[in-house]
Amino acid sequence: MHPIEHLQEKIAASLSNLPIYREPAGLYEPITYTLQQGGKRIRPLLTLIATQMFGGNPDKALPAATAIEIFHNFTLLHDDIIDQAPLRRGRDTVYKKWNINTAILSGDTMFAVAYGQLAGSDPQQLPVLMQVFTKTAIEVCEGQQYDIDFENAGDVTIDAYLNMIRLKTAVLLAASLKIGALIGGASQKDAEAIYRFGENMGIAFQLQDDLLDAFGDEAVFGKKTGGDIIANKKTYLYLKALECSSKENAAELKNWFLQRTGEPQAKIAAVLDLFNKAGVKQHAENMIQDYIQKAMSHLKTITPDEKARGPLLELLSGMLKRNH
């Protein structure tokens, strides 16, 4: 059983040895820049962990894990354009450092390179891996479109929001685990169970990010809080506050989320006050725990024993602690 640190080294080595850094430099330098930013590399790590959970060799899963990490970074390249985000992980985003056209084209190339990496998997397993990977890629795009649609929609429901974050965020975590499990020799039943585990954990993590964006400690969270409020993001907190507030407070909250100018700190303070009056922090914490419990109920049904699950639970526990 390889420790997490050893698996992380394998992923880093695989990414650094990619045969894609060539001419034209204007296309490939942004890809190098993106993949060398590091980050947590949670998704490929989940793939390798899942493979060895079911008795497989994580080296056999490296092509798929690398494909997943490249695909994830491709989505970030395009997300930054959509969100007009100037920074990612403390550095200029690709469209800011180069330009929008370069970011689009480099992202498209990363999408193709991801499939090229996946093609290096066991030929007998490749068809089913391709099915999972392709379905997930489409769903991530569906989630992104819902997120865009919600910006100007006046009737977003909590269920619709939860489905959006499931598609945009959770399904890639779930697919990372399922692909790893299949490579490791898991049964279809176990592969589906670990997918549902990852899906529910992914929703829990996104709800936690929503919560921390509003109420987190900036020193611990690693970025300034209130970003979702400034961007008028209709997160779970906003939607639950509308549901739990008086008519007057709900109207005031809606009014704040119609504003795109003004003093940011005043807006954050006013919205947080309305969130507190509605008690949404506790509602969000309860919802997060509900999804974690759902996730664990699926994990308990799979074949590997507690020792085999150890690295997976260690990784997820670290993510939860880091975000608190």
Q: What percent of the chain has pLDDT over 90?
A: 78
Model confidence pLDDT, tens digit, residues 218-229: 666 556 789 899
Question: Would you place residue 21 in the very low, low, confident or very high pLDDT band (cuts 50, 70, 90)?
Answer: low
Q: Would you say residue 324 has pLDDT above 60?
A: no
Classify residue 319 by burial, with Cβ atoms within 10 Å: 0-12, 13-18, 19+. Answer: middle
Q: Would you say residue 131 has pLDDT above 80?
A: yes
Query: What's residue 220's pLDDT?
Result: 63
Q: Which of 79, 81, 70 is nearest to 34 (CA)?
A: 70
Query: Which tops the pLDDT comparison, 82 or 39?
Result: 82
Question: Would you place residue 315 in the very low, low, confident or very high pLDDT band (cuts 50, 70, 90)?
Answer: confident
Q: Which of 57, 53, 67 is nearest to 11 (CA)?
A: 67
On whether the CB atoms of residues 194 and 186 are closer than 8 A, the answer is yes
Lowest average pLDDT, out of 59-68, 202-211, 297-306, goes to: 297-306
